[in-house]
Amino acid sequence: MANMRLDKNPMPEQDPVLRAGNFDEVALGYTPEMAIDEAKRCLNCKNSLCRTGCPVKVRIPRFIAKVAEGDFDAAYEIITSTNSLPAVCGRVCPQEKQCESKCVRGIKGESVGIGRLERFVADYHMNKEVKDEVKVPESNGHRIAVVGSGPAGLTCAGDLRKMGYDVTVYEAFHKSGGVLVYGIPQFRLPKEIVAKEIDNLKAMGVNIINNAIVGKSETVDELFADGYEAVFIGSGAGLPMFMHIPGENLCGVYSANEFLTRINLMKAYKDGSDTPIMPLAGKKVAVVGGGNVAMDAARCSKRLGADVYIVYRRGMEELPARHEEVEHAEEEGIIFKTLTNPVKINGNENGYVASMTCVEMELGEPDASGRRRPIEKVGSDFDLPVDCVIMSLGTTPNPLIKNTTPGLEVNRKGGIVVNEAGLTSHQNVYAGGDAVTGAATVILAMGAGKLGAKSIDEALSK
């Protein structure tokens, strides 16, 4: 019989005071008992609405039923038949806006903890002492190139490999994983977990070449000349935006992308790092923006010993970051300066940040995005003393591939234009993920990678 308890089993977490001083994972994961108990809350609905909210169509009620029976291996099989990165998705997907937002148990009480269960199953499998043998699909002799090893590229590569294609992924960085390794911090997504998911793909026969920038080392057209029959572009949206206010070129101003890459990928917080960041212990940091990236930059700064402000021009209600991330940031002592907008960054005599001049805002009528428009309060400007400013205003796709691929159409925001099959304006070139949509989510990028793989297979099977 279903467990009719109204609330989800809470996620065990590191204590906020402790975790604000370390980079260890915040959420600790369910025990088998907690997972089985939570799985029993699922009604196994015939018309499972939760599935309609999942961009990679995980067979949610089926895997949850297996968890409820304690058959975690079968649950893993079911999840991985459509999702090649379950340990990642279980940690970072905004389930509250996707599968869980559709769950009928959410009508009266809390939805089933689908994400927490997915994470449990993936971790259970990863920690098993005796590993299942990886099935290496037989080659069908067709070669495909994938640009970028983020969730879009990896999903496309994994799905094509499962269908028998010989897939090579070209990745600009020395490590694979895209934003999963250089953006999302260790305390939300341990890098060992990303590495293990990538190892699974490699064991299946996906070939990854690192330090290979398509557009510099080889162009897309040269990949075709090398014998690839189709190319999937999953190069993400790594170009940061700035406010274009005075003082943005002072020492101590970072884009969130640069700041997080230095910390996550280059381990800048460790002694002797080749790409350090300024020492932040005892300093004041302002992170400008209110999305997940801003929360990550703020929480990293806190862990490096700084007092941290989130400076955001709308109110708490309008913060675009996941609710859970905002809550975690508040628990860790991040100060939210909402309805506040920077207008100038002021330097000291050495060219370093000394303060940021801000104005107070109020909310007017909704704008085109449906959110209330922030309006400046006249004469409300004040100086916020800070030593470091991190701009987290969003990112756009890097123009390198567009500039080196004749005939590749992009929109006015730099996103590659694709049709409903993920095909670009260039023959046999497909694209998906942030490179198409601009900064979005892991699961949407994975959905686009799946679509790309399916479309490539359909085109080459004709």
| Sites of contact with ligand FAD (CB under 6 A) | 92-94, 147-153, 170-173, 178-179, 183-184, 213-215, 234-236, 238, 260, 292-293, 296, 398, 400-401, 433-435, 439-443, 445
Question: HSE of 202 in the Cβ direction (CA atoms, 13 Å)?
Answer: 11
Helix (H) or strand (E) holding 285: strand 284-288
**Any idea what DSSP says for residue 274?**
S
Of these partners, ligand FAD, ligand SF4, none, which one is at the site of residue 50 (CB under 5 to 8 Å by kind)? Answer: ligand SF4
Of these partners, ligand FAD, ligand SF4, none, which one is at the site of residue 434 (CB under 5 to 8 Å by kind)? Answer: ligand FAD
Of these partners, ligand SF4, ligand FAD, none, which one is at the site of residue 400 (CB under 5 to 8 Å by kind)? Answer: ligand FAD
Look-up: residue for tokens 């080459």?
A: 460
Rounded Cα distance, 377 and 379, in Å: 6
**Shortest distance (Å) from residue 238 CB to ligand FAD:** 6
Segment 101 to 140, residues that bind ligand SF4, using CB under 6 A: 103-105, 112, 114
Nearest to 460 by CA among 425, 434, 432, 421: 421
Helices (H) and strands (E) in the chain, counts: 18, 16
**Residue 52 structure tokens:** 């309609």
Q: How many CB atoms lie within 10 A of CB 132?
A: 10
**Shortest distance (Å) from residue 189 CB to ligand SF4:** 23
Q: How many CB atoms lie within 10 A of CB 107?
A: 7
Tell me if 300 sits within 8 A of 348, measured CB to CB.
Answer: no
Rounded Cα distance, 29 and 38, in Å: 12
Residue type, 218: E
Segment 131 to 190, residues that bind ligand SF4, using CB under 6 A: none
**Shortest distance (Å) from residue 159 CB to ligand SF4:** 24
Helix (H) or strand (E) holding 62: helix 60-69
Name the one range near ligand SF4 by CB under 6 A: 59-67, 278-286, 404-412, 439-447.
59-67
Nearest to 196 by CA among 131, 118, 138: 131
Nearer to ligand SF4, 112 or 353 (CB): 112
Nearer to ligand FAD, 84 or 292 (CB): 292
Nearer to ligand FAD, 240 or 374 (CB): 240
Total residues binding ligand SF4 (CB under 6 A): 15
Nearer to ligand SF4, 43 or 243 (CB): 43
Of these partners, ligand FAD, ligand SF4, none, which one is at the site of residue 29 (CB under 5 to 8 Å by kind)? Answer: none
Of these partners, ligand FAD, ligand SF4, none, which one is at the site of residue 112 (CB under 5 to 8 Å by kind)? Answer: ligand SF4
- Which one among 20, 35, 50, 194 touches ligand SF4, defined by CB under 6 A? 50
Tell me if 114 sits within 8 A of 97, measured CB to CB.
Answer: no
Residue 48 binds ligand SF4, judged by CB under 6 A: yes
Residue 230 binds ligand SF4, judged by CB under 6 A: no
- Which one among 3, 16, 27, 49 touches ligand SF4, defined by CB under 6 A? 49
**Shortest distance (Å) from residue 427 CB to ligand FAD:** 19
User: Mind giving me the DSSP string for 341-407?
Assistant: EEEEEEE-TTSBEEEEEEEEEEEEEE-TTSSEEEEEPTT--EEEE-SEEEE-S-EE--THHHHHSTT
Question: HSE of 267 in the Cβ direction (CA atoms, 13 Å)?
Answer: 6
Tell me if 372 sits within 8 A of 318, measured CB to CB.
Answer: yes
Segment 76 to 105, residues that bind ligand SF4, using CB under 6 A: 103-105
Beta bridge partners of 423: 430
Of these partners, ligand SF4, ligand FAD, none, which one is at the site of residue 92 (CB under 5 to 8 Å by kind)? Answer: ligand FAD
Of these partners, ligand SF4, ligand FAD, none, which one is at the site of residue 104 (CB under 5 to 8 Å by kind)? Answer: ligand SF4
- Which one among 20, 54, 60, 145 touches ligand SF4, defined by CB under 6 A? 60
Q: How many CB atoms lie within 10 A of CB 189?
A: 23
Of these partners, ligand SF4, ligand FAD, none, which one is at the site of residue 152 (CB under 5 to 8 Å by kind)? Answer: ligand FAD
**Shortest distance (Å) from residue 55 CB to ligand SF4:** 15
Tell me if 330 sits within 8 A of 347, measured CB to CB.
Answer: no
Residue 247 CB partners (closer than 8 Å, separation 6+): 253, 344, 345, 346, 347, 353, 356
**Shortest distance (Å) from residue 64 CB to ligand FAD:** 21
**Shortest distance (Å) from residue 406 CB to ligand FAD:** 16
Reading phi first (left if > 0) and then psi (alpha if -120 to 50, else beta), residue 247 is in: left
Rounded Cα distance, 123 and 410, in Å: 39
Of these partners, ligand SF4, ligand FAD, none, which one is at the site of residue 44 (CB under 5 to 8 Å by kind)? Answer: ligand SF4
Of these partners, ligand FAD, ligand SF4, none, which one is at the site of residue 235 (CB under 5 to 8 Å by kind)? Answer: ligand FAD
Of these partners, ligand SF4, ligand FAD, none, which one is at the site of residue 214 (CB under 5 to 8 Å by kind)? Answer: ligand FAD
Residue ranges in contact with ligand SF4 by CB under 6 A: 42-45, 48-50, 60-61, 64, 103-105, 112, 114
